[in-house]
Amino acid sequence: VGNLFLYYLFCFATSLGDEIFYISFFPFWFWNIDGYVGRRLCIFWGAFMYLGQATKDILKIPRPTSPPVVKLEKRYSLEYGMPSTHAMVGAGLPFGIYFLTRDRYLFPSMVTLSGAIIWCSVVCLSRIYMGMHTLLDIVGGLLYVFSLMFVCFYFSILDKVDYFVLHASLPSLIVTCLLIPICLCLFYPLDRNTWSTSRGDTTIIIAVCSGSLISHWLNYNLGQMN
């Protein structure tokens, strides 16, 4: 490490795609800002993270070799590299926030877009700095998440899923938010007897999305929210 400013900047940027960020960001958004946007963002996050992680284990493209790369982060070393799910999170969350709030709130679009671009850029650069991804991994992750974003927002998929879950009957909720997520985790593209950090992280993400949707269904049906 030759530059402490860059090191700590990119350590922070890397944390924007880790559990510490998730367990802070989503509850803060639900409790203090807007559950309407938060639910849709959580659904989108769960979908693109599952697809991104599963694609890694299907393609099996290794991370950069060390040497010559110096790996400053050991946790994800056993995972494959393409696409970068950190890049997907770095683009999916800030740009998802922008598209979900632009017709709901009044705010300066250019300022918000600039913030999203900076957020995304710093996260993506951090993965190269940390020695965890190649430029191709980053580009692949960005193309992947922006393609999914286009499909989800153009066809209003997030609105339809959110409306369906909130107004679902109890049997429909059990199928949608319990049985389907369990099947997704069981039939993740690895041997069912094989564990990996990517499979473990994906299971946690799916569980968080399911729990969030079930809790909002409960609040809505108990009359605790509009």
* Predicted local confidence at residue 130, as pLDDT: 84
pTM value?
0.86
* Predicted local confidence at residue 193, as pLDDT: 64
Q: What angle do CA 101, 107, 113 make, to 5 degrees?
A: 75
* Predicted local confidence at residue 117, as pLDDT: 92
* Predicted local confidence at residue 105, as pLDDT: 86
How far, in Å, are 24, 49, 52, 71, 139 from residue 45 at the CA level?
Answer: 15, 6, 10, 27, 18
Q: Which residues are catalytic?
A: 86, 133
Query: What does each of the 226 residues of the chain score in pLDDT, given as a tens digit?
Result: 788 898 889 888 888 888 888 888 889 998 898 888 999 999 999 999 999 988 888 888 888 877 888 777 777 767 777 888 888 998 999 999 999 888 888 888 888 889 899 999 999 988 888 888 888 999 999 999 999 999 988 888 998 999 999 898 889 889 988 999 999 888 888 766 666 777 888 888 899 999 999 999 999 988 888 7
* Predicted local confidence at residue 194, as pLDDT: 63
**17 contacts 89 by C-beta, under 8 angstroms:** yes
* Predicted local confidence at residue 192, as pLDDT: 62
Contacts of 197 (CB under 8 A, 6+ apart): 75, 76, 78, 79
Structure tokens belonging to residue 123 = 């996260």
Positive/negative CA dihedral, 154, 87, 34, 184: positive
What are the residue ranges spanned by the domains of the chain? 4-221
